[in-house]
Structure 1
Amino acid sequence: MKQEILSRIQKKFPLSAKPFEVIAKELGISEEEVLEILQNEKNESIIRQTSAIFDTKRLGYKSSLVAFKIDEDKIDDAVAIINSHPGVSHNYERNHEFNIWFTMAVAPDSKLGLDKTIETLAALTEAEDYIVLPTLKLFKINVKLNTTGKDDKKEKVKKVIHKDIELTPLHHEIIMRAQNDIDFVSEPFKNIVEELDIDYETFFSILQELQDAGVMRRFASILNHRKAGFNANAMVVWDVDEENGAAIGEKAAAFSAVSHCYLRPKYENWPYNLFTMVHGKTTEETNAMIAEMEEEIESKSHMPLYSSREFKKVRIEYFTPAFQEWEERYNG
């Protein structure tokens, strides 16, 4: 039952005044049982966070994946500097000469901008070299760990056309609150509607509006991969033909074990342009999945980059003063 609940809250969290009651009715158990199971999983750090997941770019933030080449003796100091930036949500050490990999975002009103911020971090960390890998095309971003073992190996990735939206002050107020981790209580959204003096219908209709516009990707629980038993997570990079990159990327994204799939630029010192995150419980399981992908993906070469250390994995907090404060501290 626990695995069924974990699967459910990753895929489609009920946007309801009493979401855990909805899950309980679906599974034929009590709301109290659902809450107890979820709280236990939270206490064990298996559930990392349950909140709205927003699209950084749709909110006006500029972002990129970045890889630094850092001397082994300087990694700890470099990581502390990189992690101090509020726009760094993920940061890992990987098995490559480009050994520090992080995602970087800057606010819409950033004075430094994305490139200058990365340049500043490279100088502060004494990086020997670095590459900036922005998204050229997104095929998939949807972390759903197969906790039940029942998921198919392939899935259909829907192409979504987003509606245009002009964000109002109420949108911003809801985004600032919905991005925070909810408590596992009967009415987890009660404090938000009371604080904003709105009703549930208004709150959920605005969340739906944000989702239709692509501003909110989804509302879901994110699991701690390793704590949930998925200990072999590889960023597999592929050197694929740029003209056929879109078709190849769609093939790669169809694999259920792939949570993220992007096309990124190539460089003289970096020939790989298709990026796929592949999740498995063991290295053997992950490598077997990569081997299956290799049979379908037309590539000149590929390379799995396993993370040896996780330095940071958080959700970015949008519309906070932290971005401006960091720039004021390090600008110049």
Structure 2
Amino acid sequence: MYTLTEKEQQLLDLIQRHFPCTSKPYQVLAEMLGASEQEVLTLLHSLKERGIIRQISAIFDAKALGFHSTLAAFQIENERLDAAAKMINSHPGVSHNYQRAHRFNLWFTLSIPRDLDLIEHLSQLAQKTSCAQFLNLPAIRMFKRQVYLNFSQQQNFPGIPSYPEPRLNDSPPLPEVLPADIQRCLMRELQNDLPLIPTPFYDIASRCDVKEETVLKLLTTLKTTQKIRRFAAILRHTSAGFTANAMVVWKIPDRAIQSFTDHAVKYDAISHCYERLTASAWSYNIYTMIHGRTHADIENIVADLAAYCDETPQYQALYTVKEYKKQRVDYFSEAFYEWDRQQNESV
């Protein structure tokens, strides 16, 4: 964990919320901060070297790209947990994988193309890891999905009104349809870590043999069609000082779900809030992912949420014990089909 300067804190707040998708994004950030472009680039290099910034890139919406996803929980014997996690991590559709303090001790997300069988892939992973029991917990409704960690007290920066996130139908799509191979090239590049150079989108354009203007127009199109949820920096929570986090699961009556989730999403510390399918061995239906600097931060929010309910709710706070994987899914890879083919051949 590192001590952050005021300028670093302001920069981290900006690049999580207001990363400018323009020809010279770091120059725009510098103007917002009252700094030079070189100072911003130097700060970003330092924050990456210290492990605070994981990457800056497009955050794609799996469903909009034709994928289906789920949250899975496996019950694994403790002595085999590391080996099981390694096996699960080898699946190209696993983006997050954590050990949590519970009987179901391994929790991961899995996304695969819709023409592949999600349940079959989960069953294959359960068999390969000698999983005693597993839960398949797909989302029913999403109420919040915004991973913002607050660092500075400054809320307004010069220039932000000029670079709002586009809304659906705010701007026209590309004037012509891009060839499929060009669009695929650009989308793969946009999900990779943005280069720390003055004109990073020009660099992407050159690698796909198009003009920089084409990249920026495609970004706008992908945002307005909601294939990209946002373009932003993703941070490593623990390196940034948010060393405590818990997935808190709740059993909320149907009649109270809307009121409860409306209250929960107001917390900046709650990054995700979902309603998920229940199971015979698992009756919890609402999930809140809470981040804090200490366990007390988490417990205070949980206590407030519990007190908000008309009836005493059933809930469990599943604290993260170990992070096994946190990595973007490569939605444009053929690895999903290769994994599927290898499993079918081994049967």
* TM-score of the pair, normalised by structure 2: 0.88
* 8 Å Cα contact 1:261-1:274 kept in structure 2: yes
2:109 maps to 1:103: yes
Cα distance change, pair 232–149 in 1 and its aligned pair in 2 (3 A): farther
Q: Where in structure 1 are there 5+ consecutive unaligned residues? A: 152-159
When structure 1 is superposed on structure 2, of 252-261 and 114-123 the one drifting more is 252-261
2:82 maps to 1:76: yes
When structure 1 is superposed on structure 2, of 320-329 and 97-106 the one drifting more is 320-329
Cα distance change, pair 250–17 in 1 and its aligned pair in 2 (3 A): same
CA RMSD of aligned residues (A): 2.1
2:143 maps to 1:139: yes
Aligned to 1:155: none
Aligned to 1:186: 198
Equivalent of residue 121 in structure 2, options 117, 124, 146: 117
SS of residue matched to 2:94: coil
User: How far has the Cα of 1:167 moved from its partner?
Assistant: 9.1
Aligned to 2:26: 20
Any residues of structure 2 matched to 1:56-71 within 5 Å, and which? Answer: 56-71=62-77
Any residues of structure 2 matched to 1:177-216 within 5 Å, and which? Answer: 177-216=189-228
Residues 200-219 of structure 1, C-alpha deviations (whole Å, 9 max, x = no match): 33211211111111110000
User: How far has the Cα of 1:328 moved from its partner?
Assistant: 2.1
Aligned to 1:273: 285
When structure 1 is superposed on structure 2, of 308-317 and 282-291 the one drifting more is 282-291
Q: Distance in 2 between matches of 1:296 and 1:171?
A: 47
Q: Distance in 2 between matches of 1:17 and 1:82?
A: 39
Q: Distance in 2 between matches of 1:168 and 1:214?
A: 20
Residues 150-197 of structure 1, C-alpha deviations (whole Å, 9 max, x = no match): 67xxxxxxxx9856x999624433211100111211111222112333
Q: Which runs of 4+ in 1 moved over 6 A?
A: 165-168
Residues 303-326 of structure 1, C-alpha deviations (whole Å, 9 max, x = no match): 111110000000011111211221
Q: Distance in 2 between matches of 1:313 and 1:325?
A: 22
Cα distance change, pair 79–279 in 1 and its aligned pair in 2 (3 A): same
2:95 maps to 1:89: yes
What residue identity is the alignment partner of 1:212?
T
Q: Distance in 2 between matches of 1:246 and 1:82?
A: 34
User: How far has the Cα of 1:17 moved from its partner?
Assistant: 1.1
What residue identity is the alignment partner of 2:289?
M
User: How far has the Cα of 1:149 moved from its partner?
Assistant: 5.2
* 8 Å Cα contact 1:249-1:263 kept in structure 2: no
Equivalent of residue 338 in structure 2, options 321, 325, 328: 325
Equivalent of residue 57 in structure 2, options 38, 51, 54: 51
What residue identity is the alignment partner of 2:135?
I
2:339 maps to 1:313: no
Equivalent of residue 242 in structure 1, options 254, 257, 275: 254
Q: Distance in 2 between matches of 1:102 and 1:167?
A: 35
The percent identity for this pair of structures is 39
2:134 maps to 1:130: yes
Q: Distance in 2 between matches of 1:167 and 1:276?
A: 39
Q: Distance in 2 between matches of 1:300 and 1:285?
A: 20
What residue identity is the alignment partner of 1:194?
S
What residue identity is the alignment partner of 1:313?
K
* 8 Å Cα contact 2:201-2:216 kept in structure 1: no
Q: Distance in 1 between matches of 2:189 and 2:255?
A: 42
Q: Distance in 1 between matches of 2:255 and 2:214?
A: 45
User: How far has the Cα of 1:297 moved from its partner?
Assistant: 4.2
SS of residue matched to 1:101: strand
Q: Distance in 1 between matches of 2:187 and 2:309?
A: 38
User: How far has the Cα of 1:46 moved from its partner?
Assistant: 0.6
Cα distance change, pair 161–247 in 1 and its aligned pair in 2 (3 A): farther
Aligned residues between the structures: 322
Any residues of structure 2 matched to 1:250-269 within 5 Å, and which? Answer: 250-269=262-281
What residue identity is the alignment partner of 1:29?
A
Q: Distance in 2 between matches of 1:254 and 1:137?
A: 17
Residues 264-286 of structure 1, C-alpha deviations (whole Å, 9 max, x = no match): 01222111110011110111112
Q: Where in structure 2 are there 5+ consecutive unaligned residues? A: 1-6, 156-165
SS of residue matched to 1:81: helix
Q: Distance in 2 between matches of 1:191 and 1:108?
A: 32
